[in-house]
């Protein structure tokens, strides 16, 4: 009886204990929100850009990519790989001429096939400007991207795919912005969005909207270098994208290795440095619908990516970042070729603990986000592997939405519309040039414009300005010179720059506002930049020099003794230097890219050389015919 009583009491207590502990467990699991300590709601993928496989230079670009697949992809095991353009280099050995080379494309194809053999995954590639040099159309046989890239055959232009996971759908839209027809270099440095392409992208974007947890876009060009002919704002088109991944600008010659920004639409743009020279690649992870990424150099291990809490720099209104507040674990992806020994976590310089290995590359450490609810905090993760490679990653995070700001230069490069900017600068220069000459010509007495200095400094500055005003005024007083300068500058703005084969066997005409080829107008962009250079390197220096020559000639005419070599030093050498520089530009740049026609039928560049000599001749001839203004004319 007693034993029965004891037994049943024990049983009773035991079952109560069990149920209570069970219910406690369930309770805890309910409270426990993602991100948790399980390898769930998390996947990762890889981006590579600007590979530039070339048959003329740096033959290791393709073999290194293959090695990357063998040693990196097999280790990282991404869900897919995206390649954002410039798969091949498509430039001749002189780096000026351009054309699609079948050898380069075959090597790209072989490399990707070898990669897939090593690690079977899907490659999503898209055209870059180099892949569109000298390509008349998407379905033309000269479009080797179509035949030899991974996606080209099914998707000659923009496309999308949805990565379906048990916990959500993730749509990636590949944007093709390479101009069609694709001129030979350099006139497709800017991307171009026409109506048809925009509509296609709009469709893809709308399809993705209702059934995707997140939409990402990727393409070759930065948004600052894409011209949208009608709406003129590519960023509105991709406003539903949480991120836009691109390449094209490489690292701006090492100036900017982290070129990221956030647009007004909320989309975050992430430019990735090139594979070509820098062998960079990017690992991106989407953890509970929040994206984190790291840009890494090929061969550097371990690769460490903190996915929770995510970097405050990339706080996004398009992601459920509020989840970080309720998360129970710090989550870190660690990839390494060696065994990981420790994953050490500090927050605000205080040691939090060692993250434990969950599964695959995931490490987790329990944390209490309530301690960090306000403002910015810093998380530091130090990983040590068995070959004693140390890697420390430090990033700011915030749970209340505090954001840190992007570096100024990156913002400037990515958020501007460079097309509008160059257009604006070009027309301003033209306007100032022409109006200034007109005003001076209308002036009968230049001395009314002169500055009188009060002290030594203002006197000197005043003198400098006065003398150059006088020289410019002298130029405008010679009617033929005035018209020569005004009309030639107007011509740069309105006339054709050259007529040449902008594609092989396809004649095109370049104006500053655009390139006419195959019945299509590709908007100006780069031509405005060339226009600015031309005004600054030719029109302005020649104007100043002509004024100088006239002034000099007038002064020398009053002197009895002129030192030997005086004219050589003051006139001949500067003038000839200007002519030589401009001749070099005229015979190299465009003719090298588009053939000798560009030189023969090149009124702007080739015309400049003639204009220089005509200006010199007119200056010499008429210098003494202008009535003198002795007071200032002398000094
Ligand atoms: C994806 O979206 C669905 C529907 O909105 C949601 O139930 C699911 O939790 C999301 N997935 C993740 C990982 O957040
Ligand atoms: C997507 O959802 C919006 C409302 O949220 C609805 O108006 C629209 O028709 C939906 N589109 C599609 C393609 O289902
Ligand atoms: C994912 O897409 C499928 C259709 O492909 C749809 O039925 C499902 O609801 C989507 N899931 C989410 C979370 O939107
Ligand atoms: C997050 O936790 C707070 C309490 O800490 C709770 O009030 C809130 O409902 C939770 N939010 C979610 C989305 O679970």
CB 160 within 8 A of CB 194: no
Q: Return the residue whose CA atom lies nearest to atom 1 of ligand 3.
A: 169
504 domain residue, yes or no:
yes
17 domain residue, yes or no:
no
User: Is 2 a residue whose pLDDT tops 90?
Assistant: no
Pairing of the two strands 191-193 and 226-228: parallel
Q: Are residues 105 and 53 in the same domain?
A: yes
Q: Return the residue whose CA atom lies nearest to atom 13 of ligand 4.
A: 323
Q: Are residues 137 and 120 in the same domain?
A: yes
**Token pair of 518 as six digits:** 């195959």
pLDDT greater at residue 448 or residue 178: 178
Per residue in 297-349, pLDDT (tens digit) is: 999 999 999 999 999 999 889 999 999 998 999 999 999 999 999 999 999 99
CB 267 within 8 A of CB 238: yes
Q: Are residues 460 and 411 in the same domain?
A: no
Integer Cα distance of 590 and 496 in angstroms: 13
Region 137-151: mean pLDDT is 95
Pairing of the two strands 191-193 and 350-354: unpaired
Q: Residue 157's closest CA among 216, 99, 185, 199?
A: 199
Atom number, ligand 4, closest to the C-alpha of residue 33: 14
**Token pair of 14 as six digits:** 């035991």
Give the distance, in angstroms, between the CA of residue 564 and the centroid of all CA atoms in the same chain: 53
Atom number, ligand 4, closest to the C-alpha of residue 322: 13
CB 45 within 8 A of CB 333: no
Determine the residue of 209, 211, 212, 215 to mutate for testing ligand 2's pocket, defined as the one with the most ligand atoms within 8 A of the Cβ atom: 209
Integer Cα distance of 410 and 402 in angstroms: 20
* CATH assignment at residue 188: 3.60.21.10
CB 341 within 8 A of CB 237: no
What lies within 8 Å, CB to CB, of 503 at 6+ separation is 134, 135, 136, 181, 182, 183, 184, 517, 518
Taking the CA of 209 as reference, the closest ligand is 2
Q: Are residues 366 and 424 in the same domain?
A: no
User: Is 560 a residue whose pLDDT tops 90?
Assistant: no
Q: Which residues pair with 616 in a beta bridge?
A: none
Which residue among 415, 435, 461 closes a domain?
415
Ligand 2 centre distance from Cα of residue 216 (Å): 19
3 domain residue, yes or no:
no
Ligand 2: list residues with CB < 6 Å. 209-210
Q: What torsion do the CA atoms of 83, 84, 85, 86 make, to the nearest 10 degrees?
A: -80
What lies within 8 Å, CB to CB, of 442 at 6+ separation is none
Determine the residue of 210, 212, 215 to mutate for testing ligand 2's pocket, defined as the one with the most ligand atoms within 8 A of the Cβ atom: 210
14 domain residue, yes or no:
no
> 3-state SS of the chain: helix, strand, coil percent to 5?
40, 25, 35
Range with lowest mean pLDDT among 218-222, 526-530, 559-563, 588-592: 559-563
Per residue in 258-282, pLDDT (tens digit) is: 999 999 999 999 999 999 999 999 9
| Maximum alpha-carbon separation in the chain | 142
Region 176-205: mean pLDDT is 91
Task: Give the pLDDT of residue 20.
Answer: 40
Ligand 3 centre distance from Cα of residue 169 (Å): 6
CB 223 within 8 A of CB 265: no
Q: Are residues 442 and 387 in the same domain?
A: no
Q: Return the residue whose CA atom lies nearest to atom 10 of ligand 1.
A: 168
Pairing of the two strands 350-354 and 340-347: antiparallel
**Token pair of 61 as six digits:** 């670009």
User: Is 634 a residue whose pLDDT tops 80?
Assistant: no
Per residue in 382-391, pLDDT (tens digit) is: 999 998 789 9
Q: Are residues 358 and 473 in the same domain?
A: no
How many domains does one find in the chain?
A: 2
Q: Residue 101's closest CA among 113, 114, 87, 121?
A: 87
**Token pair of 147 as six digits:** 């035949």
Integer Cα distance of 306 and 391 in angstroms: 12
User: Is 19 a residue whose pLDDT tops 60?
Assistant: no
Integer Cα distance of 296 and 273 in angstroms: 10
Q: Are residues 325 and 430 in the same domain?
A: no
User: Is 5 a residue whose pLDDT tops 70?
Assistant: no
Domain, as residue range, for 530: 418-633
26 domain residue, yes or no:
no
Confidence of residue 569 (pLDDT cuts 50, 70, 90): confident
Residue 201: C-alpha distances to residues 157, 177, 207, 596 (Å): 10, 11, 10, 39
Give the distance, in angstroms, between the CA of residue 249 and the centroid of all CA atoms in the same chain: 4
Q: Return the residue whose CA atom lies nearest to atom 3 of ligand 2.
A: 210
Give the distance, in angstroms, between the CA of residue 156 and the centroid of all CA atoms in the same chain: 23
Confidence of residue 566 (pLDDT cuts 50, 70, 90): confident
23 domain residue, yes or no:
no
Per residue in 396-433, pLDDT (tens digit) is: 999 998 888 999 999 888 988 888 889 999 999 999 99
Taking the CA of 322 as reference, the closest ligand is 4
Which residue among 415, 443, 467 closes a domain?
415
* DSSP-derived 3-state class of residue 593: helix
Task: Give the pLDDT of residue 231.
Answer: 66
Is the Cβ atom of 288 under 6 angstroms away from ligand 1? yes
Q: Are residues 247 and 330 in the same domain?
A: yes
User: Is 18 a residue whose pLDDT tops 80?
Assistant: no
DSSP tag of 18: H
Ligand 4: list residues with CB < 6 Å. 33, 326
Region 112-139: mean pLDDT is 95
Integer Cα distance of 394 and 373 in angstroms: 19
Helix/strand/coil (H, E, C) string of 293-319? EEEEECCCCCEEEEEECCCHHHCCCCC
Q: Are residues 248 and 315 in the same domain?
A: yes
What lies within 8 Å, CB to CB, of 517 at 6+ separation is 181, 183, 502, 503, 506, 507, 508, 509
CB 97 within 8 A of CB 183: no
CB 362 within 8 A of CB 42: yes
Tally of CA atoms within 13 A in the half-sphere of 376 that contains its CB: 13
Ligand 4 centre distance from Cα of residue 359 (Å): 27
User: Is 449 a residue whose pLDDT tops 90?
Assistant: no
Range with lowest mean pLDDT among 6-20, 97-111, 488-502: 6-20
Helix 573-594, helix 540-556: angle, nearest 10: 160
Q: Are residues 423 and 561 in the same domain?
A: yes
Task: Give the pLDDT of residue 178.
Answer: 93
Average pLDDT of every residue of the chain? 89
Q: Are residues 438 and 309 in the same domain?
A: no
Per residue in 205-247, pLDDT (tens digit) is: 999 888 899 999 999 999 999 998 776 688 999 999 999 999 9
Per residue in 436-447, pLDDT (tens digit) is: 999 999 988 887
Task: Give the pLDDT of residue 447.
Answer: 79
User: Is 22 a residue whose pLDDT tops 80?
Assistant: no
Is the Cβ atom of 307 under 6 angstroms away from ligand 1? no
Is the Cβ atom of 168 under 6 angstroms away from ligand 1? yes
25 domain residue, yes or no:
no
Is the Cβ atom of 289 under 6 angstroms away from ligand 1? yes
Per residue in 85-98, pLDDT (tens digit) is: 999 999 999 888 99
Q: Phi/psi class of residue 41: alpha, beta or left (left: φ > 0; alpha: ψ in -120 to 50)?
A: left
Taking the CA of 291 as reference, the closest ligand is 1
Q: Return the residue whose CA atom lies nearest to atom 10 of ligand 4.
A: 326
Confidence of residue 456 (pLDDT cuts 50, 70, 90): confident
CB 439 within 8 A of CB 469: no
Which residue among 415, 446, 463 closes a domain?
415
What lies within 8 Å, CB to CB, of 594 at 6+ separation is 184, 498, 500, 501, 502
What lies within 8 Å, CB to CB, of 112 at 6+ separation is 123, 125, 150
622 domain residue, yes or no:
yes
User: Is 12 a residue whose pLDDT tops 60?
Assistant: no
Buried b / exposed e along 302-319 (16+ C-beta atoms within 10 A): bbbbbbbbbbbbbbbebb
Q: Are residues 423 and 506 in the same domain?
A: yes
């Amino acid at each position: 009886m007693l034993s029965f009583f004891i037994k049943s009491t024990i049983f009773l207590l035991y079952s109560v204990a069990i149920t209570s502990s069970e219910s406690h467990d369930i309770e805890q699991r309910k409270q426990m929100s993602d991100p948790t300590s399980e390898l769930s709601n998390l996947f990762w993928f890889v981006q590579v850009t600007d590979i530039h496989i070339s048959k003329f230079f740096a033959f290791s670009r393709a073999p290194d990519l293959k090695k990357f697949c063998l040693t990196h992809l097999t280790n990282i095991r991404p869900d897919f790989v995206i390649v954002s353009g410039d798969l091949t280099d498509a430039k001749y050995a002189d780096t000026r001429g351009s054309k699609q080379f079948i050898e380069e494309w075959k090597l790209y194809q072989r490399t990707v096939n070898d990669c897939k053999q090593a690690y079977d995954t899907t490659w999503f590639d898209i055209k870059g400007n180099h892949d569109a040099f000298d390509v008349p159309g998407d379905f033309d046989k000269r479009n080797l991207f179509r035949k030899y890239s991974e996606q080209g055959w099914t998707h000659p232009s923009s496309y999308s795919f949805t990565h379906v996971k048990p916990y959500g759908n993730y749509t990636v839209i590949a944007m093709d912005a390479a101009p069609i027809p694709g001129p030979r270099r350099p006139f497709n440095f800017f991307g171009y969005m026409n109506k048809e392409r925009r509509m296609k992208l709009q469709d893809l974007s709308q399809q993705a909207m209702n059934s995707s947890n997140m939409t990402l876009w990727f393409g070759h060009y930065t948004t600052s270098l894409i011209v949208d002919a009608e709406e003129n704002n590519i960023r509105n088109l991709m406003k539903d994208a949480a991120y836009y991944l691109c390449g094209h600008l490489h690292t701006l010659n090492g100036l900017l290795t982290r070129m990221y920004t956030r647009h007004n639409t909320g989309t975050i743009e992430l430019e990735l440095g090139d594979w070509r020279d820098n062998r960079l690649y990017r690992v991106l992870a989407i953890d509970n619908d929040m994206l984190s990424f790291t840009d890494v150099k090929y061969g550097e291990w371990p690769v460490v990516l903190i996915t929770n809490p995510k970097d405050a720099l990339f706080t996004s209104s398009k992601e459920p970042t509020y989840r970080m507040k309720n998360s129970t674990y710090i989550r870190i992806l660690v990839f390494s070729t060696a065994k990981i020994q420790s994953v050490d976590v500090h927050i605000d310089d205080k040691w939090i603990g060692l993250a434990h290995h969950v599964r695959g590359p995931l490490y987790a450490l329990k944390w209490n986000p309530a301690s960090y609810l306000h403002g910015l905090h810093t998380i530091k993760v130090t990983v040590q592997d068995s070959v004693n490679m140390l890697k420390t990653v430090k990033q700011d995070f915030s749970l209340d939405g505090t954001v840190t700001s992007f570096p100024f230069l990156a913002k400037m490069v990515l958020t501007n519309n460079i097309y509008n900017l160059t257009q604006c600068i070009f027309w301003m220069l033209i306007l100032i040039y022409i109006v200034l000459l007109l005003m001076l010509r209308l002036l009968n007495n230049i001395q009314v414009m002169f500055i009188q200095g009060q002290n030594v400094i203002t006197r000197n500055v005043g003198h400098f300005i006065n003398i150059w005003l006088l020289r410019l005024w002298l130029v405008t007083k010679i009617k033929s010179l005035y018209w020569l300068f005004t009309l030639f500058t107007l011509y740069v703005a309105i006339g054709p720059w050259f007529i040449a084969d902008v594609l092989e066997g396809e004649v095109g005409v370049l104006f500053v506002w655009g390139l006419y080829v195959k019945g299509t107008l590709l908007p100006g962009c780069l031509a405005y930049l060339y226009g600015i250079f031309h005004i600054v390197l030719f029109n302005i220096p020649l104007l100043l020099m002509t004024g100088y020559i006239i002034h000099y000639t007038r002064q020398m005419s009053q002197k009895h003794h002129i030192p030997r070599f005086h004219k050589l030093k003051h006139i001949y050498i500067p003038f000839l230097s200007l002519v030589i520089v401009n001749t070099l530009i005229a015979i190299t740049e465009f003719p090298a890219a588009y053939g000798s026609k560009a030189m023969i039928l090149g009124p702007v560049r080739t015309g400049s050389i003639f204009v220089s000599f005509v200006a010199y001749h007119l200056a010499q001839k008429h210098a003494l015919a202008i009535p003198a203004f002795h007071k200032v004319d002398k000094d």
